[in-house]
Amino acid sequence: MPALKFVRTVWESFRAKSGLEPTLLDGLRVTHAVPGRVKFELDIKQEHTNRLQILHGGTIASMVDLGGSLAVASKGLFSTGVSTDLNVTYLSSGGKVGDKILAEVSCDKFGKTLAFTSIKFMNANGDVFARGSHTKYIAQAWKDPNNITDELSPKAG
């Protein structure tokens, strides 16, 4: 199974079984995935904004969390572990209702116990407005029978 199809399957599982993601990020679209890298986008709606009518920092933090999980999924883990650390740096306003957010996330280190991810958020012009990092404890995730890590890892030649 290609990484994009698998990541979308994991995203659908989040949407079906989680409380937060389908409520806040239901319109998120995974547009690209290869092992270790994922791109997604989201159109800003009212529920994503703060009282100043701009993108809420909590929405961005939630996307750092989800993005890290999707990056782990791109390496073949269906169960994407639990967060041990999450960081967000806000560089400028992320936009307002009707604007599109573009995100690029990478799994920078993928081990047996921890996975380290980083993400950047851009507006439609490609300007970076936030970046984040997310560390996941994945030791238990390796036991999930839905994993396809062997299929998505580079083949020894």
Q: Using one digit for the tens of pLDDT, what is the confidence trace for 17-53?
A: 999 999 999 999 999 999 999 999 999 999 999 999 9
How confident is the model over 118-145, as pLDDT tens digits? 999 999 999 999 999 999 999 999 999 9
List the domains of the chain with CATH numbers.
3-149 (3.10.129.10)
> Can you give the pLDDT at residue 60?
97
Is the pLDDT assigned to residue 1 strictly greater than 90?
A: no
pTM score of the predicted model: 0.94
Which class for 132: exposed (0-12), middle (13-18), buried (19 or more C-beta within 10 A)? Answer: buried
